[in-house]
Amino acid sequence: MNDTKQKKDNAELFKWDGNPSFGQVLPLAAQHVLAAVVGCVTPAILVANAANNAGGNVDMGLLIQVSLVFAALSTLLQLYAQKIKLGSGLPVIIGVSFAYVPTMTAIAAQAKDVNTIFGAMIIGGVVAILVGLFIRQIRKVFPPLVIGTVILAIGLSLYSTAVNYMAGNSSNTYEVIVEQQGKTEALVFGSWQNWLVAFITLAIVVLLNHYGKGLFKLASILIGLVCGYIVALCFGMVDFSALSSAGWFQVPMPLAFGIRFDISAILPLAILFLVNSIQAMGDFSATTTGGMDRLPTDDELNGGIIGYGVSNIVGALFGCPPTATYSQNVGIVGSTRVVARKVFTASAVILLIAGLIPKFSALLRTIPQCVLGGAVASVFASIAMTGIKLLVTEKLTYRNTTVAGLSIAIGMGVSLSDGCLNQMTASIHDALNMSMSLESFQSIINNTFASSPVVLATIFAVILNLILPKDKPDAQ
């Protein structure tokens, strides 16, 4: 009898309007938060550091706080504003996107401030809204073949992030001092302690995914994170220094960082907003494919992308860096198949609390990067596999494998070949006699097209799918 009741209760987790219990919702919501919180916090740190290292004076703590608050508000917009065309009505988590980080750091370093980023975001948000308004026409050039290629590229692009986290995150600006048999050593990027803790965390996640039952299986990533955190504590790897300097309550105010419009910032960010609007299409498709066994409707895509644009415009006014759908959370949906809106609402509320109470957000930041890397590695793998599953729904003819394979090859190849676009951009710069410095122009082009395989993979998949001759229908 209890087993039957348990199965019935668990079934509520797999319904969009399901009514799971608080005990079921909380661990699953926490799992989403822990997968997203580093994505919300780290870009703000990197961008603030870029501006401040160049001589600026950006308040890093405030930038982190606003990032968390607007991750929550943007998520709630997606969950509840579908009826007014400002949300997808799909189980997604929104947060500050790593896809914008290389471009933002280049802009922040050049301007010694972040206000030009927020000016460019307003224009980028308008671009996203236009994509959303014409999504029915645009969707025709994004069949499952192209969307599957984009999702695969997203998954592949995240692998280096997972490994970087597992090794301790090379962007960390501090070293944790660890006591080992009476000797003191610096715990640096790539140390054996980082790898050991990461693989312990990953092993727990994988074992629970394959052998766990009920909530132990559904909350495998959260349990892995908790166990990894405890192991990291034993190694002395947890740094609590951020807690002492954090306040207890603070509400973000508009125009705290100011707004400035600069064409050199607007152009690359507008292109990235266009590409990320299309990537959002891939994330929405991965969410419905992995958790609901269907593709999203035109209305869901329309509302989701328009909401993405509107939330970024409003976020820019308060000083939140560009947000996007979180692929790592899409991966959690695919692996757990939990789509109950209550779970995602609770996740947004936790992120909102974290933003309004800096002490709480500082506590979340104490989770070692190696623990997070070990936990999300399997998530990122599931994203790539979702792309492959979508690809194989199409016949793998020579034409289709050319579209997918060549697009991935170009995207991955350019992103992994540092400086491969420099000579071409130098020739363009000289031919157009541009007033912008060559270094700035090259930085913008590289940050837009070479920082991630997703951009070029998307562009080539669309073009190849349009120009290559269609396969002839099978003879009857």
Residue range 453-465, pLDDT digits in tens: 777 888 899 899 9
pLDDT of residue 298: 84
Question: Which residue, 421, 336, 367, is CA-closest to 232?
Answer: 367
The backbone torsions φ and ψ at residue 169, rounded to the nearest 5 degrees and listed phi first, read 70, 105
Block residue for tokens 């789509």: 339
pLDDT of residue 124: 95
Block residue for tokens 């000579």: 423
Question: Which residue, 259, 263, 254, is CA-closest to 119?
Answer: 259
Instruction: Work out the end-to-end distance of the chain between its first and last CA atoms, rounded to an integer number of angstroms.
Output: 54
pLDDT of residue 8: 55
The stretch 440-451 carries a mean pLDDT of 75
* Tokens coding 273: 């907003």
Q: Residue 187 pLDDT more than 50?
A: yes
Contact 82, 303 (CB under 8 A): yes
pLDDT of residue 463: 92
**How would residue 158 be classed by pLDDT, with cut points 50, 70 and 90?**
confident
Question: Helices in 258-397 by DSSP H: which ranges?
Answer: 263-292, 298-318, 327-336, 341-356, 358-364, 369-391
Q: Residue 171 pLDDT more than 60?
A: no
Contact 79, 344 (CB under 8 A): yes
Note whether residue 146 is domain-resident. Answer: yes
pLDDT of residue 361: 67
Strands 94-96 and 323-325: antiparallel
* Tokens coding 73: 């508000």
pLDDT of residue 475: 45
pLDDT of residue 173: 41
Paired strand residues for 176: 187
pLDDT of residue 476: 41
Q: Residue 184 pLDDT more than 50?
A: no
Half-sphere exposure of 206 (CA within 13 A, CB side): 11
pTM of the complete model beyond 0.85: no
Cα dist. 447→100, 412, 432 in Å? 8, 14, 20
Q: Residue 9 pLDDT more than 90?
A: no
Domain count, the chain: 1
Rounded distance, CA 122 to CA 193, Å? Answer: 43
**Residue 392 DSSP class:** T
Amino acid letter for position 328? Q
Q: Residue 154 pLDDT more than 90?
A: no
Q: pLDDT of 302-347, one tens digit each?
A: 899 999 999 999 999 999 999 998 877 887 888 778 889 999 999 9
Write down how long the chain is: 476
Contact 459, 414 (CB under 8 A): no
Contact 150, 407 (CB under 8 A): no
Tell me what percent of the residues of the chain surpass a pLDDT of 70. 90
Cα dist. 214→17, 224, 227, 319, 320 in Å? 20, 15, 18, 41, 37
Q: How many CB atoms lie within 10 A of CB 18?
A: 19
Rounded distance, CA 308 to CA 435, Å? Answer: 34
Tell me what percent of the residues of the chain surpass a pLDDT of 90. 23
Rounded distance, CA 326 to CA 396, Å? Answer: 29
Rounded distance, CA 341 to CA 303, Å? Answer: 17
Quote the mean pLDDT of the chain. 82
pLDDT of residue 128: 94
Cα dist. 368→47, 48, 92 in Å? 20, 21, 25
Note whether residue 311 is domain-resident. Answer: yes
pLDDT of residue 1: 46
The backbone torsions φ and ψ at residue 323, rounded to the nearest 5 degrees and listed phi first, read -110, 165
Rounded distance, CA 66 to CA 51, Å? Answer: 17
Q: Residue 118 pLDDT more than 90?
A: yes
**How would residue 73 be classed by pLDDT, with cut points 50, 70 and 90?**
very high
Contact 364, 238 (CB under 8 A): no
CA 313 to chain centre: 18
pLDDT of residue 93: 92
Q: pLDDT of 242-300, one tens digit each?
A: 777 767 888 888 888 999 998 777 877 887 788 778 778 878 888 888 888 888 888 89
Note whether residue 129 is domain-resident. Answer: yes
Contact 378, 202 (CB under 8 A): yes
Q: pLDDT of 12-64, one tens digit each?
A: 888 888 888 888 899 889 888 877 776 787 788 778 877 887 788 888 778 88
Q: pLDDT of 390-414, one tens digit each?
A: 888 888 889 999 999 999 999 889 8
pLDDT of residue 364: 66
Note whether residue 24 is domain-resident. Answer: yes
Report which of residues 42 and 235 the model is more confident about.
235
Note whether residue 221 is domain-resident. Answer: no
Q: Residue 6 pLDDT more than 70?
A: no
| Contacts of 1-9 spanning 24+ positions with Cβ under 8 A | 6/214
Note whether residue 310 is domain-resident. Answer: yes
Contact 189, 163 (CB under 8 A): no
* Tokens coding 50: 């870029």
Domain residue limits at 159? 16-176+250-369+378-467
CA 451-421-410 angle, to 5 degrees, is 65
Note whether residue 227 is domain-resident. Answer: no
Q: Residue 170 pLDDT more than 60?
A: yes
Question: Which residue, 466, 86, 107, is CA-closest to 272?
Answer: 107
pLDDT of residue 310: 95
Q: Residue 174 pLDDT more than 70?
A: no
Block residue for tokens 């623990």: 371
Contact 63, 89 (CB under 8 A): no
Note whether residue 414 is domain-resident. Answer: yes
Paired strand residues for 185: 178
